[in-house]
Structure 1
């Protein structure tokens, strides 16, 4: 006859095996804690993403301003080149990267000595960034916004 280890079949051991799992109450408490953390963290995450995209658009506006200054250095005016061709805003790689979130354009036709480049939020960025909304940069380096916030908080 085989001998079995009595410790395996002892009543105390069976009780220890039963205590190794989680109860439904414990699991529900963990799920509730995770839900609370997610509810607090998600809006903060969305706010961070919105600000990050705005900062990228501001950097792109700076690239457009650099383009305009190079254009002016070559042609001594912002609106047209020496052949009389109108200056059209090129599509820079930064604008392509942000095309789902911002549309870049001149505020109006550039003048001989003036221009203003705008970054208009598109899609979800437009609904999330009402504080700053359209951000702009002109030939004097003046930064403006069309939202409810301040220029200092948006730039």
Structure 2
């Protein structure tokens, strides 16, 4: 074996560690594609979680309205403070724990009718369900089943 052959063999046996620029760029591209797919799903999941907070507020308020009706035989005079949702009688809207929804009456409660609503706030305002309402008969808007899960 000649000197030149030995030099070639030593060059071939050299272990070089690390990534080439092309390998690194391919990896970054793959991560970017995965993030582009995952982020919209994540935001939709987060919005659905906050939406359940708004639905819980509505459900609690509906139960309190029915209790109010059972005690007074009318919905007239019902406010957030008379329902026990606020200590301030001047409060007309109530924020959720994470401030993603505000609860209020849509109009004034009548003798046998009322409509409660939760309005999305901040980043939740981008939610496709938007403002959700429920009335004394249990009619809900929007009517999309996805919004009320």
* Coarse TM-score class (shorter-chain normalised): 0.7 to 0.9
The two structures have a TM-score, normalised by structure 1, of 0.73
How big is the shift at 1:110? 0.7
Contact preservation (8 Å) 1:57, 1:98: no
How big is the shift at 1:115? 0.9
What does 1:59-78 align with in structure 2 at a 5 Å threshold?
59-78=56-75
The two structures have a TM-score, normalised by structure 2, of 0.76
Pairs aligned (count) = 130
**1:52-81 deviation line (CA, Å, top 9, x unaligned):** 22222112211110111111122222123x
- Find the residue that maps to 2:137 and give its secondary structure: coil
Name the residue aligned to 1:55: 52
How big is the shift at 1:14? 6.5
Query: For structure 2, which runs of at least 5 residues remain unmatched after alignment?
Result: 1-8, 87-93
- Find the residue that maps to 1:137 and give its secondary structure: strand
**Are residues 1:41 and 2:34 paired?**
no
Contact preservation (8 Å) 1:143, 1:151: no
**Are residues 1:89 and 2:80 paired?**
yes
Name the Cα RMSD after superposition: 2.3
* 4+ long deviations beyond 4 Å: none
Relative to structure 1, the CA distance from residue 153 to residue 95 in structure 2 (aligned partners, 3 Å threshold; closer, same or farther) is same
Contact preservation (8 Å) 1:136, 1:143: yes
Query: For structure 1, which runs of at least 5 residues remain unmatched after alignment?
Result: 1-9, 81-86
